A and B are shown apart, each in its own frame.
Chain A
């Protein structure tokens, strides 16, 4: 049973436009959410996170939105750049086991010049 779901395996956007990556979760105990970015042949790198006490967190071109009632979060990248092309993983954890992240399957973002 997948507790973190990224239903779009891939997304293609034009440079300069907004990229929106979605993530749904089923475990109501999750209270901290993260996005990781992964380039081929590299390990994932942390991008941005959000606590369940917030509904938005912004860092430069990246904004994460959390809708707890819908158990849904999204990552917005604006404006998108070709260097943003990568696999994006959504991950979640709960206070009781904050060392263990539960990851989605990832979404491959392609930003076309």
Chain B
């Protein structure tokens, strides 16, 4: 498909388990972002990748959260020792190139609904 693809679409896990969320950005998009939306909240920035490097990780809530991107394409967001407050929709977005007005027009995936029991 031509859009941003995220998997799984839904993930239910037990408190304390680790989870991995995957994002396939639009082909050719150099910038990739992770956001999350907790219930009743706006989208919250987590991390930004330019290529394989992450110049800004400032939104990651704790050291239980990490993300990587390989080959300038697929990204994985890992949450270790999940807690109930981690329950949210995790959204991935990509954009063609930073530094231009088109950069702000992010293309979002459908998200992963994470539920921590």
**Cα–Cα, bound, A6→B43 (Å):** 13
Chain A interface size, under 10 / 10 to 19 / 20 to 34 / 35 or more: 20 to 34
For A78, the chain B residues whose CB sits under 8 A away are none
Contact B93 A102 (CB under 8 A): no
Question: Count the B residues whose beta carbon is within 8 Å of the partner chain — how many?
Answer: 29
**Cα–Cα, bound, A33→B53 (Å):** 26
> Nearest A residue to B45 by beta-carbon distance?
A100
Q: Is B99 in the interface zone, CB < 8 Å from A?
A: yes
**Cα–Cα, bound, A77→B103 (Å):** 25
1/0 per residue, CB under 8 A from A, across B34-51: the answer is 010000111111001010
Q: Is B16 in the interface zone, CB < 8 Å from A?
A: no
A49 CB to closest chain B CB (Å) equals 7
Contact B43 A89 (CB under 8 A): yes
> Nearest B residue to A43 by beta-carbon distance?
B108
**Cα–Cα, bound, A37→B6 (Å):** 19
A36 CB to closest chain B CB (Å) equals 8
B32 CB to closest chain A CB (Å) equals 10
**Cα–Cα, bound, A72→B17 (Å):** 43
Contact B104 A93 (CB under 8 A): yes
> Nearest B residue to A104 by beta-carbon distance?
B42
Contact B42 A4 (CB under 8 A): yes
What are 10 contact pairs spanning A and B, CB under 8 A?
Answer: A32-B101, A32-B104, A34-B104, A43-B108, A44-B106, A91-B43, A98-B98, A98-B99, A98-B104, A101-B104
Chain A interface residues (CB < 8 Å from chain B): 2, 4, 6, 32, 34, 36, 41-46, 49, 51, 89, 91, 93, 97-106
Task: Give 7 new A-B contacts, CB below 8 A, not counting A41-B110, A49-B101, A99-B95.
Answer: A32-B104, A34-B104, A43-B110, A93-B104, A99-B98, A100-B56, A104-B42
User: 8 shortest A-B CB distances, which residue pairs?
Assistant: A43-B108, A103-B42, A103-B43, A105-B42, A46-B105, A99-B98, A99-B48, A44-B108
